[in-house]
Structures are given as C-alpha cells and as structure tokens.
Amino acid sequence: GQNIDQPTEMTATEGAIVQINCTYQTSGFNGLFWYQQHAGEAPTFLSYNVLDGLEEKGRFSSFLSRSKGYSYLLLKELQMKDSASYLCAVMDSNYQLIWGAGTKLIIKP
C-alpha cells in the first residue's frame, strides 16, 4: 500500500531551527509537496520538490532524496506564527496526492 510517515508533534523554541521529516512509500513519484495549516484554516502551499536536493525559500527549505523515499522541511529563525501543522504530500504515478497525517509544530517562547 501507499504510505506517508511524519512525526505527530514536535516542539521547538522561538528563534531556533527545526527539521520535520517525511518518509514515503508510493506507487511511483511525481513530486512532493509541503503545506502549512494553521488550526481551523486552509492548508497553504510551502514547497514542491521533484528532483533530489535542497530548495530554499526564505526561512523555509525543503530537501528530497528519491532513492531513500525521504524529505524534510527545515524552518529557520522560528517565529511564534510558525506554530501550525505541516503536511507532507506525495504525487504518485497516477498524479494522485497521498497525504501524511501532518506534524503539529509547537513553538515556545
């Protein structure tokens, strides 16, 4: 079956760096997405990786290793507003999105 694994919850300190991991097993691969979702709100797009390597976008970076079925989202200079759930989603060979359950990130002052 198809599966996406990410930690359920993580805690970090304001100003620090946190890495949220995502491992996947899917039927084919057409890209991996990261979304941010604040409680009770819509997910918003953060990043897309389809080739191996690191994509940097401001304070957020996303890394992909297709051979290892692994990605991470790196958040630097954490701010209180970064408290949210972070969703990992993989597009399979049929262009269907498989979603992880999300990682709830708690930022402490």
Partner 1 sequence: DGGITQSPKYLFRKEGQNVTLSCEQNLNHDAMYWYRQDPGQGLRLIYYSQIVNDFQKGDIAEGYSVSREKKESFPLTVTSAQKNPTAFYLCASNDRENSPLHFGNGTRLTVT
Using CB under 8 A as the criterion, which residues of the chain lie in contact with partner 1 when the complex forms? 4, 8, 30-31, 33, 40-45, 48, 50, 87, 89, 91, 95-102
DSSP state of 15: T
> Tokens standing for 92?
């399979």
DSSP state of 93: T
Q: Residue 8 contacts by C-beta under 8 Å, 6 or more apart in sequence?
A: 101, 103, 104
For residues 63 and 103, which CB has a smaller minimum distance to partner 1 in the complex? 103
Q: How far is the CB of 16 from partner 1 (least distance, A)?
A: 26
For residues 27 and 96, which CB has a smaller minimum distance to partner 1 in the complex? 96
Q: How far is the CB of 95 from partner 1 (least distance, A)?
A: 4
- Give residue 77's identity as a one-letter amino acid code: E
